[in-house]
Chain A
Amino acid sequence: MVVSSTARVQPFPKGKLWQSHLKKGKIVFHSTRTKPLMPGGSPIQPDEVTRVGNLFKNDKRPVFNPLGTQEAFKINANIGMLFVPDPKTQLPVLFGHPERDKLMHQIIDDASTREYLGPVISGGHLEGVLDFYFGNELSREITAKYSLYGQVTSGGTGAINSFLHVWNELPPELASEDNITRTIGLSSIHWSGYDAQTDVFGLAKPKIATFELTNKDGNFHINSFKTFLEENKHCTILLTTPDNPTGFVIPPNVISNQIAEALNEHAEKGGTAAVGFDLAYLHFITDHPNYAQEFLIQFLEKLGSNHGTSIQTYFLMSGSKSLGDFSIRLGHEILIAPKSIEASTNKITKLSSINKRGTGGNTSLALHLSNALFTRTDDGSQNPNIPVLRQAIQDVLTNQLSPRVGQFLTSFADELGGGIKFQASEANPKVWQLLGRSNQPVAQMRLPGMPYFGGLTFANAEDAQTVALACQQAGLYLPAIEEVVRIGFCGLPHENSLRQAAKILSGAVGGLQSAVGSN
């Protein structure tokens, strides 16, 4: 992307919306830079989404009412929770499931579910969990072929924490002098929650290195991934697909071929890697409704004898998004290993359990809920809740979430003016480019494979921050994560919310010097 690195941006945007409101005297300045919830001096900083969320909370403007006629308002496109219009009022409500609600109430009434429970899941429960995420057939195939260890975790965050923690603090029985120091590998633009995870490790932050998730054509950047492996002999890698913040989905054939081959080459050179697939948004992939079925077994088989020895494979799941159960903190961590290496699997299992207990991350209620929702019936059949939940997710994906992307992009393109354009790239129609007044590319958005989020990628983090700040001033809250401004389509359930958000974002982009040019 060609953007002058010396271009300075204005402290405040001067896009057309902004200018128009200034002229009409409609701008009401609010102090969104209130005292941070977490003042400086602490080495552990909140992630960007949390920080922006706190600014949103502290903003005194009323929340945008999609049915109202407000002049001053705030809109939360920072949020990572899926909202839908209430069928009666059309006002935003958290996506949930009648079945889940019914089960929750049953749980409350059942005295046994008040008891403390540990996080381990096994048998029909574990198989049911695999069924919910991966499908019934694949669940049975995995169970038959592999040695499994599963835990209910405190949300997807808990799954990531457990995975990272265990593999970066290897105990003597699994560690050698050579592999005790491991690098955490993340894609260069990553969910900032990963940083929060790595900040809490023992007495020193582990080494983190990054690889580029996508190349200039918008495809998985296998060369960058290989370079990362070459430079980090022993590593713990998170492959986030669908990705937060960009919405990018690693194609199944890339996982089962290119990534597996790169890992095998790494193992042959004496390297080791613990690979965690962060699949928190698995149920929201538009192009691949059976995503896991398209790569999982092929990927594991391709690893051959490296699987479980040099290459460990974890699947980190979240019920938060799929069930709207954010506050219950239901996640799952599943280790899949060859049956032949059960002994070392046991060691890993032990460490995972200790970590969960020791960090206070047990979620007894979540385990009770997971059990009620997913566990196979006594005769081993599929839990009848699973197809019901899947259908609910599919309905909301098809009828709610997917259309939002198109609506937003159309509004955004329409609102842009002053010679700034937003259009599909000729080389790749799935990549939309934002062209400045001089027709130079300023930013781009790859149409997300998962419509929960969209990422508008700028040339540098400074541009992204400037746009995000300008949006905040105008009442639209979204986070700048490195050079990406993340648009939470999940939090914009009404066409009026989408339109207002697009308007504000276009105004903010219009104020960017790199977009308007130096004249």
Chain B
Amino acid sequence: MSNTSETLVQNPELFHQEGARGSTDPVMGVNARFNKLDLPTFNPYNYDPNLKYKYNASAGMLVVPGETSDKVFVPKAVLEASAKLEQDPQNYAYIGPVMDKEHQRGVLDFFFTKPVREIIEADYTYSFVFTAGGTQAVSNMFGITTKLPESLTTSGQKQRTIGLGNPYWGGYDSILEAIANNGNKPPMATYELNDSEGNFNLKSLREFLQNNKHCTIVLTSPNNPSGYVIPPSILENEIPQALKEHAERGGTVAVGFDLAYIHFIPAHPNYGEFLPKFLKALGSTLGNNIYPYLLMSNSKSLGLYAKRVGYLGLILPKDKNGEQKWERASADFVDRCVGWQRGTAGNANMSLKLSRVLLTNPETQAELKASIQKSLKEEIQPRIKTAVGAFRKQAQINNLGFENTKAGTYKISDKNGKVIATLREPGTPYFMPIEFANSQQAEKVAQHAEKDSNLFIVAASNLVRVPTCIGTSQVVYEHWGAAIFKAISSVFG
């Protein structure tokens, strides 16, 4: 049996599969092994209970039920706009990633709300560039902040540490690998995203900052793989306070908000409203010591996975007294990104046109938001309860305890009543984590699920990631649950 954390790096043969997604990311390894296994794929719309199937629980694309099979969630307006664009030959011309101001305003409106955009426009200097998906936005940020432009650099900041909250998306590693110089990746360190109660671990972030004077940190919220959402109040108060204190000690931080799943937070439909308060709380450290980057993706929100639609923004103070300091720094940022993207071939031409069509029309944008919210409320959010119900049943079948200890938290215990895992209802219903005491346990559970039941699921850090984004029906969760709880039972006796 393959180890679930075996990446493609350890098994180069898997790189030769059609559509392989070369990466150090374990998800890609799991997915490649799934593709390689010669068994029929389980189809909840049409299956024979007597046959043996393989189950893909590694994908991260949002699907919704179709007539005869699941389909990628794509709002109707996106399909229409896309089809129209592709009929005009002129739209096949090459263009770069620079966005005009109207398009940038549309991005702020779409991801952060119009009132937030109005504050940003009035009080700050900002620029966005178009990227080949959220991945390119991360690549740009890592690339340009590890080689900061002169307008944002002092001699002491040349070497920056990349800081990631644990658990983190394995793609970050691949990006660091790709921007390495002669095999030397930029230094990377982690802080713990959550404490033992599942709350934001501010202490760990503070410790990270103390140990890394000049750094680029990523705040991924909602988080992949855990689905955890950093509460807005933490983003508005505690985090900027910690950053300010770090700045007062002479440190500098490029803070990247990776908001790829921002439209999928049921408790905070306008999550982006944290931004003005965060910026205000930074005071004079904004732009001088702290550089906030915004990383967005329309892969999830609009189902544009294949078209690679993402954005990277930088917010700086407003110039005063006729100075052009921040305007220049903002232009430097665009300059850097354009160069970086040109160099890394990350332009996504027709996708930029599509994004512009969709986001600069207020009516279209409102239609898109309504479509996402409707799908979130009626289709995706209910999957959590469905999954919990199915998992509870499977826990019982496998003689495991499954107790609701507090709102949204379920303790899984062995036959002796000892708690062995925790299932938390996530802040975003995209993923649902089952947490174990350590990464080895999570790994073993995923291995057993794959070996014993042909369920290909991802173990990341100390958790097993249940992709509720692709589990559209009760029967799916029953099969997944059977495999997962059988594996838990095997691991914990």
Q: Which residues of A contact B (CB under 8 A)?
A: 37-39, 41-47, 50, 80-81, 93-94, 96, 101, 104-105, 108, 111, 113-123, 125, 149, 153-155, 157-158, 160-162, 165, 168-172, 175, 180-181, 193, 196-204, 320, 324-329, 346-347, 349-350, 352-365, 367-368
Contact = CB atoms under 8 A, between A and B. Distances in A.
B143 A200 contact: yes
5 contacts: A154-B348, A199-B343, A324-B92, A363-B132, A364-B307
Contact of B94 (A44, A171, A327, A367): A327
Contacts, number: 284
Contacts of B307: 114, 364-365
B38 to A, nearest CB: 16
B61 A116 contact: yes
Contact of B348 (A105, A149, A329): A329
A50 B342 contact: yes
Contacts of B308: 360, 362-365
A41 B349 contact: no
B342 A157 contact: yes
A116 B18 contact: no
A202 B19 contact: no
Interface in B138-174: 138-140, 143, 146-147, 149-151, 171, 174
A165 B340 contact: no
Given A93-B89, A169-B183, A360 B339 contact: no
A204 B305 contact: no
B17 A358 contact: no
Interface stretch (B22-30, B459-467, B480-488): B22-30
Contact of B86 (A104, A346, A358): A104
A125 B16 CA distance: 12
Nearest to B350: A327
A115 B71 CA distance: 10
A109 to B, nearest CB: 8
B339 A358 contact: no
B21 A118 contact: yes
Contacts of A155: 94, 345, 347
B349 A197 contact: no
Contact of A359 (B91, B95, B178, B184): B178
Nearest to A355: B178
Nearest to B139: A360
Given A96-B89, A169-B180, A328-B350, A41 B328 contact: yes
B72 interface: yes
Given A202-B180, A362-B135, 20 more contacts: A45-B339, A101-B89, A108-B79, A114-B72, A114-B304, A116-B21, A120-B19, A120-B21, A149-B16, A161-B345, A202-B179, A202-B182, A320-B94, A327-B349, A328-B349, A329-B345, A349-B12, A350-B22, A354-B9, A360-B135
Contacts of A114: 72, 74, 303-307
A104 B92 CA distance: 11
Interface stretch (B330-338, B439-447, B471-479): B330-338
B83 interface: yes
Contact of B21 (A81, A202, A353): A353
A453 to B, nearest CB: 15
A180 B182 contact: yes
Interface in B7-42: 8-9, 12-13, 15-25, 28
B339 A42 contact: yes
Contacts of A326: 92-94, 349
Given A116-B306, A347-B12, A358-B175, A327 B91 contact: yes
Contacts of B353: 327
A344 B176 CA distance: 23
A41 B93 contact: no
B96 interface: yes
Nearest to B333: A42
